[in-house]
Amino acid sequence: MKNNYDVIVVGGGPGGSMAAWEVAKAGYSVCLLEKDRDIGYPVRCGEAIGEAALRQFVDPKDSWIASEITGTTLVAPDNTSVDIDFAKETGYILNRRIFDYDLSRYAANAGAEVYTKSYVKGLIIEDDFIKGVKLDYLGEPKEIRANIVIGADGLASRIGRAAGIRTQVRMKDMESGLQYSASNVDVPINKMIMYVGSNHAPGGYLWIFPKGNKFANIGIGIDGKASQHKSAKAYLDEFMDANFPNAAILTTMCGGVPCPTPMKSPIKNGLMLVGDAAHLINPVTGGGIAPAMKSGMISGQIASEAIKNNDYSEQFLSKYVKRVFKEFGNNHERLYRIKEVIHKLTDDELNGIAIKVKKIDPLKRSLGSVFKTAVYKKPSLILDVVRIFAGF
């Protein structure tokens, strides 16, 4: 590990690897620092991603894909279920352990230096500019310098906090997540199943994402307020006991999924935050892999421009924020308002929507038709929808 780089990236998730890869491709020196001993492990994710979303960045490799998803089943509070086939797009349930590892290898093969067991503890700040990081590398304290630091260190972003960025998420926007990777479960191998309603997952959803023969990620995300009365674990355990009493749970993981609107200013002089660290998760689905990759890629490109221009100021780096908002941030703001509308639906309304959608010809069903039916069943939603698109 050298003492100086053009760019330092903190965090070896999909956001960090994409950022480091992009900087290395542009020919600048970059190091990627990961606190754990392995890239990609432990996995804290349901591992679902759309094929098209993934192909924007890389050609999927067979070893990354645990299963291909061709449709979804939505289950209402009264257990009425509606099947929706994906017309054109396919989804994947990834093996993130292999996927994340390979992304960091792409960065390394392009010239990035990757270091695990590198726990970044603070920032070097001089004259209000971030100039590098303080870390423990293999247990030894060290300082390394760079004109740009990219914080891709996930939800709790120590980097964001050290830079003085407000990183807290309101309780109502923080989904409490828990997931079991379970074997000996009989589930369809090409379908995602999602349960909604206050009995299944208040303010969120419970998912079954298949990962091959009799194996699946079965998880739950509920809103922070609901979890004060009954924990995500209690909901998920009840579901497992009722539906999969013979399941063997091979992995248990829990984690918060921040689902607020995107951070307005995830930058400082010499610093950009990406992915979860910048609150860039899709607030409706909780999907954050693709937004992390996209923001990581953009941050790497803007870092290279900043080096070319020898300008590391917050003003220059605001180009990063503008591009993120143009490409998906504005859409996430809209999705956040849609989430608020969805959360207002009562269990009876959700049951009614499911019964109505079931009457639609399966070939004509889509997520759009579910939404249209929701508006039909609850006309007051039209007002909310108008508000969403008018942006107030």
Ligand X SMILES: Cc1cc2nc3c(=O)[nH]c(=O)nc-3n(C[C@H](O)[C@H](O)[C@H](O)COP(=O)(O)OP(=O)(O)OC[C@H]3O[C@@H](n4cnc5c(N)ncnc54)[C@H](O)[C@@H]3O)c2cc1C
- Chain positions contacting ligand X, by CB under 6 A: 10-16, 33-36, 44-49, 118-120, 152-154, 158, 177, 179, 219, 255, 257, 275-277, 281, 286-289, 292
- Cβ pair 5, 112 in contact under 8 A: no
Query: Any residues with CB less than 8 A from the CB of 340 and at least 6 apart, and which?
Result: 384
Residue 95 CB, nearest approach to ligand X (Å)? 13
Residue 117 CB, nearest approach to ligand X (Å)? 9
First to last CA, the chain: 50
Residue 309 CB, nearest approach to ligand X (Å)? 26
Of 84 and 290, CB closest to ligand X: 290
Of 335 and 374, CB closest to ligand X: 335
Residue 76 CB, nearest approach to ligand X (Å)? 21
In three-state secondary structure terms, 110 is coil
Of 299 and 373, CB closest to ligand X: 299
CA distances from 362 to 184, 195, 222, 377 (A): 30, 19, 29, 19
Of 50 and 352, CB closest to ligand X: 50
Cα dihedral value 164, 224, 45, 25, nearest 10: -20
Cα 208 from Cα 194, distance rounded (Å)? 6
Cα 281 from Cα 57, distance rounded (Å)? 17
Strands 191-195, 205-210: parallel, antiparallel or unpaired by DSSP?
Answer: antiparallel
Residue 97 CB, nearest approach to ligand X (Å)? 12
Residue 257 CB, nearest approach to ligand X (Å)? 5
Strands 267-268, 271-273: parallel, antiparallel or unpaired by DSSP?
Answer: antiparallel
Of 44 and 97, CB closest to ligand X: 44
Cα 96 from Cα 334, distance rounded (Å)? 28
The token duo for 88 is 């054109």
Of 262 and 275, CB closest to ligand X: 275
